[in-house]
C-alpha cells in the first residue's frame, strides 16, 4: 500500500520529466532537421544531382542562398549537427527513428561533400558511406551460366549472343507513335492495382513527358503536393516489357507513391522538415529504388502481368504475340544479368578497367547494344555507386518483406505500404536479412 502511495507521488514527476526531456529532444531534432535542409540545399550548389526533390519551405532556400556556404563550411556545420544529435538520449521509438535517419542523412551528406572536395574512395567504400551497404561481387562464372541459358533459348544465328538478342528484341520494340498510348494504359492499370490497397492523397497526380539525351531510361521528379513529373527517355528503343516496369517503378506503387506518402505522413503531419528534401546520394535512395523495383512484383503477380501485356499492351503497340512467351523468358534471364552493372561500374570507377573495356563488358556480359552501353557508362560517371540501389536495394527490400510471411495479396500490399510509410534504414534491412 505504502509502495503504491509512493509510486503515485513519484509517477507524475517522472512522466513530467520524460515529457520535458522529449520536448527538449524534439526541439534539438527540429533544429537539426532544419539545418540539414539548409546544408543539403547548399551542397546542391556544388552538385546539380544532389537535391533530387525539395518541397519544403521557401524560407530555407532563401536562408541557404543568403549563407552562401563554402564546401568546408558545409562539412564543419554538418559535423557539429551530427555530434549534437548523436549524443541524444531518446526513449520514444518514433523520435529514435527520426534521430537515426538524421544521423544517416548527415553522414551521407558528409561522404558526398568529401567526394566533391576531391577525396578518393573506392566504389565499395563510397557505397558503404552513402547507402550503408556494400554490393556483392560476382565473377564471370556467375554470368556464364545465365549467358549459356540465353544462348540456348535465343533463335539460332551466326552472330554473338548480344547480336542475336538485339535481333530478337527488335520484334518487341514499341513504335514511337504508340509509346504514349501504351505507357498511359500501363500507368492506368498500375494505378488501379495500387489504389485497391493503398490510400493515396486525394489530389495526387503526375505528368508524363518523353525526353531524349539522358543517361537514364526514366525518371520521377517529385514536385511536392503529391505531384510528380515522370520522364521517359525515348532515345533508345522502348521494348514492350518496359511500360509495366516503368509505370510501377516511377509511378504506382513506386517513387510517386513513396514520395507522396513521405510528404503526407512525415512532412505535413509530423513536421519533420528533413524529409521535405530528397538528397539523391543518401540511404533514402536504397529504399526508394529498392522499393520501386520490388513494387513491380507486388502490383503485378507474374501470370497476371504477362496476361495483361499479351492481351492489352501487345495489341495496342501492334506487336505480334507469337513469340511473346519466349520473349518473357529471355527478359527474365536478362534481369539476372543486372548485377553485371554493379560489377562493371565498380571496376571502371576504381580504375581497374578502361572505358572501352567497360563498354565491351556491357555488350558481352550484359548483352547491351553499343548505344545502350554508352548510356550506362555515362550513368556510372554521373551517379557512381548509386547503381547498387537498383539490384541490391531490390534484393534487400524483397528479403525484408519475405520475412513478414505474408499469406495473401492484401498482406503483401500491407507490408509494402508499411515500408513506404516508415522507410527502414539500411541497418534495419540488414538485421532483418
Ligand atoms: Zn528509380
Helices 123-131 + 388-402 axis angle, to 10: 50
Q: How far apart, in whole angstroms, are the C-alpha atoms of residue 425 and residue 428? A: 5
Distance 246 CA to ligand 1 centre (A): 9
Given the DSSP bridges, would you call strands 205-211 and 227-233 parallel, antiparallel or unpaired?
parallel
- Sole residue written with cell 580504375: 351
State residue 405's pLDDT score.
85
Spacing, Cα 386 to ligand 1 middle (Å): 10
Cβ contacts of 36 within 8 Å, gap of 6 or more: 78, 81, 102, 105, 106, 109, 274, 277
Provide φ and ψ at 230, rounded to 5°. Answer: -105, 120
Residues 6+ apart with CB under 8 A from 359: 370, 373, 374, 377
Site of grid cell 515529457:
19
Q: What is the whole-number distance in angstroms between the Cα of residue 217 and the centre of ligand 1? A: 9
How far does residue 275's CA lie from ligand 1's centre (Å)?
18
CB of 206 closer than 8 Å to CB of 227: yes
All cell numbers assigned to 23: 520536448
Ligand 1 centroid from CA 271, angstroms? 26
d(C-alpha 309, C-alpha 302), whole Å:
11
3-state helix, strand, coil in the chain (%, to 5): 70, 5, 25
Rounded distance from Cα 77 to ligand 1 centre (Å): 30
Å from CA of 80 to ligand 1 middle: 32
H or E segment to which residue 205 belongs: strand 205-211
Cis preceding-peptide flag for 215 (omega within 30 of 0): no
Task: Please state the pTM of the whole predicted model.
Answer: 0.92
List the alpha helices (DSSP H) in 44-92: 58-67, 71-86
Report pLDDT for 273.
98
CA of 83 to the centre of ligand 1 (A): 32
Residue 21 alpha carbon to ligand 1 centre in Å: 39
The residues that bridge with 123 in the sheet, in sequence order, are none
- pLDDT for res 4: 59
DSSP per residue, 283-327: HHHHHHHHHHHHHHHHHS-HHHHHHHIIIIIHHHHT---TTHHHH
C-alpha cell at 38: 539548409
Q: Give distance in angstroms: CA of 131 to centre of ligand 1.
A: 15
10 alpha carbon – ligand 1 mean position (Å): 53
Which residue carries 494505378 as its cell?
191
Rounded to whole angstroms, the Cα distance separating 342 from 394 reads 13
Please tell me the distance between residue 51's alpha carbon and the centre of ligand 1 in angstroms: 15
Could you tell me the mean pLDDT of each successive run of 10 residues in the chain, 433 residues long? Answer: 58 59 90 98 97 97 98 98 96 94 98 97 98 92 91 91 94 96 97 96 94 93 96 93 97 97 96 97 97 97 96 98 96 92 96 97 93 95 97 95 91 96 90 55
Distance between CA atoms of 366 and 362, rounded to whole angstroms? 5
Torsional sign, CA 238, 241, 244, 248:
negative
pLDDT in the model for residue 141: 86
Q: How far, in Å, from the CA of 382 to the mean position of ligand 1?
A: 15
Quickly count: other Cβ atoms within 10 Å of residue 36's Cβ: 26
389: exposed, middle or buried (C-beta count within 10 Å: 0-12, 13-18, 19+)? buried
* Cβ contact 68:290 at 8 Å: no
CA of 406 to the centre of ligand 1 (A): 25
Dist. CA 372 → ligand 1 center (Å): 18
Ligand 1 centroid–CA 279 distance in Å is 13
Amino acid at each position: 500500500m505504502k509502495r503504491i502511495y509512493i509510486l503515485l507521488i513519484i509517477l507524475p514527476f517522472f512522466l513530467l520529466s520524460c515529457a520535458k526531456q522529449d520536448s527538449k529532444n524534439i526541439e534539438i531534432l527540429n533544429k537539426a532537421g532544419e539545418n540539414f535542409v539548409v546544408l543539403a540545399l547548399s551542397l546542391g550548389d556544388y552538385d546539380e544531382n544532389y537535391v533530387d526533390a525539395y518541397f519544403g519551405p521557401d524560407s530555407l532556400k532563401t536562408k541557404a542562398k543568403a549563407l552562401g556556404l563554402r564546401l568546408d563550411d558545409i562539412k564543419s556545420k554538418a559535423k557539429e549537427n551530427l555530434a549534437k544529435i548523436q549524443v541524444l538520449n531518446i526513449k520514444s521509438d518514433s523520435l529514435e527513428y527520426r534521430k537515426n535517419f538524421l544521423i544517416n542523412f548527415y553522414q551521407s551528406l558528409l561522404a558526398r561533400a568529401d567526394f566533391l572536395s576531391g577525396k578518393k574512395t573506392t566504389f565499395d567504400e563510397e557505397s558503404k558511406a552513402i547507402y550503408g551497404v556494400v554490393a556483392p561481387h560476382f565473377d564471370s562464372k556467375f554470368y556464364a551460366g545465365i549467358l549459356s541459358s540465353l544462348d540456348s533459348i535465343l533463335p539460332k544465328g551466326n552472330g554473338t549472343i548480344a547480336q542475336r538478342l538485339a535481333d530478337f528484341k527488335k520484334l518487341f520494340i514499341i513504335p514511337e507513335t504508340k509509346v504514349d498510348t501504351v505507357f498511359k494504359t500501363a500507368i492506368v492499370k498500375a494505378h488501379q492495382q495500387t489504389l485497391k490497397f493503398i490510400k493515396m492523397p486525394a489530389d495526387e497526380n503526375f505528368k508524363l513527358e518523353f525526353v531524349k539525351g539522358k543517361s537514364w531510361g526514366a525518371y520521377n521528379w517529385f514536385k511536392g503536393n503529391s505531384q510528380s513529373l515522370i520522364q521517359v527517355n525515348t532515345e533508345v528503343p522502348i521494348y514492350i516489357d518496359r511500360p509495366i516496369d516503368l509505370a510501377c517503378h516511377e509511378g504506382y506503387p513506386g517513387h510517386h507513391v513513396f514520395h507522396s506518402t513521405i510528404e503526407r505522413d512525415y512532412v505535413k503531419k509530423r513536421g519533420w522538415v528533413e524529409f521535405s528534401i530528397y538528397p539523391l546520394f543518401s540511404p533514402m535512395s536504397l529504399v526508394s529504388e529498392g522499393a520501386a523495383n520490388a513494387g513491380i512484383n507486388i502490383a503485378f503477380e507474374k501470370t497476371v502481368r504477362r496476361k495483361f501485356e499479351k492481351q492489352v499492351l501487345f495489341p495496342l503497340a501492334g506487336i505480334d504475340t507469337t513469340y511473346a512467351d519466349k520473349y518473357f523468358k529471355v527478359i527474365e534471364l536478362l534481369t539476372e544479368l543486372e548485377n553485371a552493372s554493379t560489377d562493371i561500374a565498380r571496376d571502371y570507377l576504381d580504375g581497374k578497367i578502361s572505358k572501352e573495356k567497360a563498354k565491351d563488358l556491357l555488350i558481352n556480359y550484359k548483352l547491351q547494344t553499343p548505344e545502350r552501353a554508352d548510356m550506362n557508362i555515362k550513368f556510372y560517371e554521373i551517379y557512381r555507386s548509386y547503381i547498387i540501389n537498383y539490384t541490391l536495394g531490390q534484393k534487400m527490400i524483397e528479403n525484408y518483406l519475405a520475412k513478414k510471411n505474408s499469406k495473401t495479396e492484401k498482406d503483401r500490399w500491407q507490408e509494402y505500404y508499411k515500408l513506404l510509410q516508415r522507410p527502414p534504414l539500411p541497418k534495419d534491412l540488414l538485421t532483418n536479412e
